[in-house]
Amino acid sequence: MIKITFIGAGSTVFAKNVLGDTMLTTSLASAHIALYDIDENRLRESEAMLNIINKNCNEGKAKIVAYSDRREALSGADFIVNAIQVGGYRPSTVIDFEIPKKYGLRQTIADTIGIGGLFRALRTIPVLESMARDIEAVCPTALFINYTNPMSVLSGYLQRYSQVRTVGVCHSVQCCAETILNGVGLPTDNVIAKIAGINHMAWLLEVSRNGEDLYPEIKKRAAAITDKHYDMVRHEIMKQFGYYITESSEHLSEYLPYFIKKGYPELIERFGIPLDEYPRRCEEQIRGWESLRDELVSDPSLTHVRTNEYASYIMEAVVTNKAIEIGGNVLNTGLITNLPAEACVEVPCLVNAKGISPCYVGKLPEQLAALNRTNINTHLLTIEAAVTRRKEHIYHAALLDPHTAAELPIDSIIAMCDELIAAHGDYLPKYQ
């Protein structure tokens, strides 16, 4: 029996999508689904929901078990899906927004790089380190599918400092070409796209239909748009650097030094940048969950339709040897030649019974590689800080973050990091 372990199963809606997908996949329908979460109540809610879907959509074929012991949940696993958030919205995410705000540093999502992404990684890596030791001991051949942000840092850490077979996957690759085509009023059928770079900053390098390059028409139409719209930051970067990018404008605005600037408040209005977007989104999700709980957990008629989440398709390809292509986050073993070898890059990957086989991309246009490197600098130094437990590398990561460095002087950045370290308390290990 195939065993699928979901870590962070209290993320009930996401667990529904990923594990509901597996139940609707013939080769995975009879799997042993192991659920683990540190929140006992949310774990039991997810278990109840999945049992309903299993009954209604899968004739009860799957074996669904909630575990209170993580190592037991992992034991013998073939696939592991990781969707944890260490520290949660409160206290940790609130801290990541409110302390930087005191120093005049504003953020939008704060989960990938920047100060929020840096400290989210520092909280999460010790948990992954412990999890990796369990995996190496009780399921060493399992494929670890990471959905947790900051994707590049966490996946890169596991790929460099553990024996865990790891691929990171993200929604942004799947919808990239469709988003820009919809945005400029072009059809999305029969499109072939090539995407590569780093997570949340991968580039739509090629986009074509029936052999026709669509970029000239995309750029022509984008230049003609005069009304404000939701994707203005990405359109501006495409205009200046020549290529569209995978992640949303609210994310992208805080990965670069150009858009959120104290001396230029008009940029916020001009580009429609949603400051403090993630806290608002979290509050809405909390309120929404209260109204959604009964429907998901106790509705006896609950069903599911397979989504486009990568996880079930990856598992299916490995089990059946029917190959698929995904956008995966993997170590840069010469895949993108003008990015560092230590970097975790997002490239096309072939998935089959052999597992994940990344595809060679070659050299990115130099301006794109240069923008990627500004983010990779912070990724690598965040990992260095986590591995060495040296506080100076926390400072280095923050000082080299493009948005932070554009806004604050050195002394303020260091003081802000010290205050964040103190505020996160036991969520962080001791740094020297």
Catalytic residue ranges: 171
Cα torsion at 194, 197, 201, 207 (round to 10°)? -10
Residues facing 329 on adjacent strands: 168, 346
Backbone angles phi, psi at 342, to 5 degrees: -80, -10
Residues 6 or more apart in contact with residue 75 via CB below 8 angstroms = 138, 139
Query: What are 48's two structure tokens?
Result: 């109840």
What are the beta bridge partners of residue 192? 208
For residue 164, give both structure tokens: 């865990």
SS3 357: strand
Instruction: Give every CB contact of residue 258 below 8 A, 6+ residues apart in sequence.
Output: 267
Cα 363 to Cα 176, 239, 318, 341: the distances in Å are 21, 21, 29, 13
408: its two tokens? 């604050």
Positive or negative: CA dihedral 369, 206, 178, 353: negative
- Tokens standing for residue 423: 């505020």
C-beta atoms surrounding 32 within 10 Å:
16
**Radius of gyration over every alpha carbon of the chain, rounded to an integer in angstroms:** 21
DSSP letter for each residue of 61-81: -SEEEEES-HHHHHTT-SEEE
The tokens describing 319, both together, are: 């089990």
CB-CB contact of 358 with 335 (8 Å): yes
Q: Secondary structure of 138-164 in the HEC alphabet?
A: HCCCCEEEECCCCHHHHHHHHHHHCCC
Burial 305-342 (b: 16+ CB within 10 A, else e): eebebbbbbbbbbbbeeeeeebbbbbbbeebbeebeee
